[in-house]
Structure 1
Amino acid sequence: MCSCQQHSTTTSAAAPAPGGAISFHVEDMTCGHCAGTIKQAIEGKIPGTSVTADPGSKLVSVEGSADIAAIRSAITAAGYTPSAELVG
Structure 2
Amino acid sequence: MQHTLQVQGMTCGHCERSVTQAVQRVDPDATVRIDRAQGQVVVESDEPRTALAAAIAEEGYTVAP
CA distance in structure 2 between the partners assigned to 1:31 and 1:40 by the alignment: 14
Structure 2's unaligned 5+ residue stretches are none
Is the CA contact 2:26–2:47 (under 8 Å) kept in the aligned structure 1?
no
Return the match for 1:65 from 40, 43, 46: 46
CA RMSD of the aligned region, Å?
Answer: 1.3
Instruction: Report the structure, 1 or 2, having the larger helix content.
Output: 2
Aligned residues between the structures: 65
Aligned sequence identity (%): 32
Structure 1's unaligned 5+ residue stretches are 1-19
2:61 pairs with 1:75: no
Instruction: Report the structure, 1 or 2, having the larger strand content.
Output: 2
Greater RCO (CA < 8 Å, at least 6 residues apart): 2
CA distance in structure 1 between the partners assigned to 2:46 and 2:57 by the alignment: 17
Where do 1:4-83 residues align within 5 Å?
Answer: 20-83=1-64
Give the structure-1-normalised TM-score.
Answer: 0.66
Q: Runs of 4+ in structure 1 displaced over 6 angstroms?
A: none
1:58-82, Cα deviation, whole Å (9 max, x unpaired): 1000002240111111101111111
